[in-house]
């Protein structure tokens, strides 16, 4: 007997049994689910016995397409070898010095420009106003940075025209470019000292060098620390002058509070609004920026 006939008899038998169960108040869901299960099972058996797929179907495969290629990751290798000639040694030393200079370049530019003076003075005015978080330090440093770029732009232009541009065009060597870039910065630092060579003399004596006759006789490693100390001195002088009017306001407010018997109330809390009002009325930020610009000898 074929499988189809057996399935038909089984289905008819289940229908008869199902009708009998329904008469005994069984649920109709039982009959429906039983028929679905039998049909699904018998259909699967019929499909398994068949060796051919239905017409129009596509046979599946578990093999990967031969045209698909895996992604290629490049191999990066670093090889360290010993130098064979003197030129290779000199190139390695120059490369090391160049990387060192690039690492220290931001700090060097901060120390040999007027950024040091501007940042210190702006921090002084923040403390004189009794402000803790406003304006943020990053904002003050940003103001000092753009003011520095504005003031130092002629010097940077000379460095670009005399050092960087000829070097990029292979017109001069690295040593010549260094000296050409150093000259405008040396002139700027020496010009800011306004004839006050006390710090230069101090460092020259510390290095046990002879008294210089001209600026060319002063080494750069002497000029840079002398310029830094000079900028610190000028910045602190400006900071003291800025502190004076705000200290007077603090003293007046403290005296009034003590006269009123309010010794437990912090004077800074009362004086800070008055200091802010005074600073805004005199256009403090504009006046401070103008005077800082005028303090730089150009």
Please provide the average confidence, as pLDDT, over all residues in the chain. 75
Eight-class DSSP state of 160: I
- For residues 135 and 49, the model is more confident at 135
Q: Which of 219, 190, 216 has its CA nearest to residue 297?
A: 190
Tell me the residue length of the chain: 298
Mean pLDDT on 179-185: 84
pLDDT at 47: 47
Q: Is the pTM of this model over 0.75?
A: no
Please state at what angle helix 86-111 crosses helix 220-259, rounded to 10 degrees: 30
pLDDT at 13: 59
Token pair of 279 as six digits: 């600073």
Q: pLDDT of 196-227, one tens digit each?
A: 778 888 888 888 888 777 777 788 888 888 88
- Enumerate long-range contacts of 107-114, CB under 8 Å, 24 or more apart: 111/224, 111/227, 111/228, 112/185, 112/188, 112/189, 112/224, 112/227, 113/148, 113/151, 113/152, 113/188, 114/147, 114/148, 114/151, 114/152, 114/192, 114/231, 114/296
Structural contact between residues 253 and 270, judged by C-beta atoms closer than 8 angstroms: yes
Mean pLDDT on 169-198: 81
Rounded CA gap, 222 and 225, in Å?
6
Domain borders along the chain are 3-45
Rounded CA gap, 147 and 122, in Å?
12
Mean pLDDT on 174-196: 82
Q: pLDDT of 146-180, one tens digit each?
A: 888 888 888 888 888 888 788 777 777 777 887 88
Q: pLDDT of 95-122, one tens digit each?
A: 776 777 778 778 877 888 888 889 888 8
Residue 65's SS3 state is: coil
Token pair of 178 as six digits: 């260094």
Residue located via tokens 């630092």: 189
Sign of CA dihedral 192, 288, 141, 156: negative
Helix (H), strand (E) at residue 239: helix 220-259
pLDDT at 48: 47
């Amino acid at each position: 007997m074929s499988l189809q006939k057996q399935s038909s008899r089984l289905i008819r038998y289940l229908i008869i049994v199902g009708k009998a169960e329904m008469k005994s108040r069984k649920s109709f869901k039982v009959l429906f689910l039983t028929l679905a299960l039998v049909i699904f099972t018998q259909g699967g058996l019929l499909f398994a016995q068949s060796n051919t797929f239905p017409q129009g179907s596509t046979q599946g495969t578990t093999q990967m397409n031969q045209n698909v290629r895996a992604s290629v990751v490049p191999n990066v290798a670093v090889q360290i070898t010993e130098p064979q000639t003197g030129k290779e040694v000199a190139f390695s030393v120059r490369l090391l010095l160049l990387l060192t200079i690039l690492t220290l370049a931001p700090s060097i530019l901060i120390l040999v420009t007027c950024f040091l003076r501007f940042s210190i003075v702006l921090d002084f005015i923040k403390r004189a106003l009794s402000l803790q978080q406003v304006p943020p330090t990053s904002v003050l440093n940003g103001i000092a940075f753009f003011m520095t770029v504005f003031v130092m732009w002629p010097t940077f232009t000379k460095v670009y025209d005399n050092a960087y541009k000829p070097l990029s065009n292979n017109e001069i060597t690295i040593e010549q470019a260094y000296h050409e870039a150093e000259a405008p910065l040396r002139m700027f630092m020496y010009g800011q000292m306004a004839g006050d060579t006390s710090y230069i003399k101090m460092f020259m004596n510390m290095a046990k060098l002879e008294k210089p006759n001209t600026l060319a006789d002063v080494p750069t490693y002497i000029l840079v620390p002398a310029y830094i100390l000079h900028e610190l001195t000028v910045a602190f002088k400006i900071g003291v002058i800025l502190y004076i009017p705000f200290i007077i306001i603090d003293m007046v407010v403290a005296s009034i509070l003590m006269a009123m018997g309010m010794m437990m109330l912090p004077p800074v809390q009362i004086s800070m609004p008055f200091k802010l009002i005074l600073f805004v009325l005199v256009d403090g930020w504009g006046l401070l920026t103008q005077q800082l610009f005028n303090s730089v000898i150009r």
